[in-house]
Chains A and B, each alone.
Chain A
């Protein structure tokens, strides 16, 4: 037992302390958090836009008079559907590599490319989450807004979206947590995120256990922290109504 303990200590020393290798993890963690936060922001913006287009189309298309508005909405809806199909139908690693090696082949800003790739990817999932949230708000809320004289966008902004957002907050938080873990494939475009940092240490020390378990623990702690934070936020939102 004592022997195993001593061995672990030596491993820890070799992988994290020597040559200040822990700095890889700190830097990598920063990159991971940065990419995740920015991507989630982008994802929410893209997602809400797409969700609004899709649900506006579903709600209004039938009884809209023929005209410019209807055509524009139809085109936007078609683009949105294509976006959802392509993004949800291909792996995120492939999208990331296409983004880095093809679309932004001339750029070397790995963080920017990763944020774009993960944000656009996440947007597709957020869109469907938000759309289900919009659809889950009672039709009477919509009618009440319209009967007061609000137009369609105003009703959406003041009345429907806040309620929809609250309804889907747990699902959105889950999407954030998924994204936090998903960014671990950023190493494919040589971005030194947390996972890549662990892998770099492993390649230097030729020992896999410590760096990989260490990385896994950091992810786990972060996920547990954010889960706790979201539960707290949810409780707070619920209390505001009781």
Chain B
């Protein structure tokens, strides 16, 4: 294991129907500490599947994924322990509707890290203040706007003090005027050197925040590089076509 590498992905495949559909067709990459990797690509290119494989919400059909040096694709490894260190943010927020915002945030630290309620609450309130939602701690998710929900979802994941944050199209289900507030929180996180893997259609965010951009198509990583390389000097034809459509 090389220094600074947090996640190592080794020829990961995800097949459906016994190989008839190849959602992921041999992905190899490394995610280093402090990197912000943005994954772009057309719908159905496998970018969400790739992200969901990283914390094993999807079980890869083949290949290995190492997190913090342990092979999490090994069935003998307790994935729950590792997931505590990998925060995930979903397209549809997935806040727990039967709990207040505060409870949403403190339940995992209390039950999994055995933090006291006071300790967990202090951490949660600090994070809530930082995203400007300190006054909504006792509200229920249904009382919040989409943008607020997504900011809560981000800080809920942060409450576990993860080593990496995975974002699965975090702004795709939002009204346009709410996209900014969520991206702002993500930028802030990136500036604090959080390791992040972000699947998104927000090319502006990718260009501004990413340390590396990965372009996927048909289950393969087609091109990878700095935002400048990807956006200003795309090499492959497929990336050129894709960028022509989205920019």
Report which A residues bind B (CB closer than 8 A): 63, 65, 138, 140-141, 143-151, 154, 158-159, 162-163, 166, 240-242
B81 an interface residue at 8 Å Cβ cutoff? Answer: yes
B107 an interface residue at 8 Å Cβ cutoff? Answer: yes
B44 an interface residue at 8 Å Cβ cutoff? Answer: no
- How distant is the Cα of A148 from the Cα of B112 in the complex, in angstroms? 9
**When the two chains form their complex, are residues A140 and B90 in contact, meaning their CB atoms are under 8 A apart?**
yes
The A contact surface, by secondary structure, is helix
- How distant is the Cα of A17 from the Cα of B83 in the complex, in angstroms? 71
Q: What is the CB-to-nearest-CB distance from B233 to chain A, in angstroms, rounded to a whole number?
A: 36
Per a CB cutoff under 8 Å, which of B55, B59, B86, B111 touches A150?
Answer: B111
- How distant is the Cα of A145 from the Cα of B55 in the complex, in angstroms? 12
Sorting the interface of chain B by its residue count into under 10, 10 to 19, 20 to 34 or 35 or more gives 20 to 34
Q: Which 3 A-B pairs have the closest CB atoms?
A: A149-B84, A144-B94, A147-B88
Report which B residues bind A (CB closer than 8 A): 55, 57, 59, 75, 80-81, 83-84, 86-88, 90, 92, 94-98, 107-108, 111-112, 140-143, 156-157, 160
Per a CB cutoff under 8 Å, which of B92, B140, B160 touches A149?
Answer: B160
**When the two chains form their complex, are residues A147 and B59 in contact, meaning their CB atoms are under 8 A apart?**
no
Per a CB cutoff under 8 Å, which of A150, A154, A166, A240 touches B140?
Answer: A240
**When the two chains form their complex, are residues A163 and B97 in contact, meaning their CB atoms are under 8 A apart?**
yes
- How distant is the Cα of A163 from the Cα of B99 in the complex, in angstroms? 10
Which chain A residue shows the least CB distance to B166?
A: A147
Per a CB cutoff under 8 Å, which of B75, B143, B160 touches A148?
Answer: B160
Complex interface: chain B residues within 8 A of A138 (CB): 94
- How distant is the Cα of A50 from the Cα of B92 in the complex, in angstroms? 31
**When the two chains form their complex, are residues A149 and B112 in contact, meaning their CB atoms are under 8 A apart?**
yes
Q: What is the CB-to-nearest-CB distance from A62 to chain B, in angstroms, rounded to a whole number?
A: 11
Complex interface: chain B residues within 8 A of A149 (CB): 80-81, 83-84, 108, 112, 160
Complex interface: chain B residues within 8 A of A147 (CB): 55, 57, 83, 86-88, 90, 157
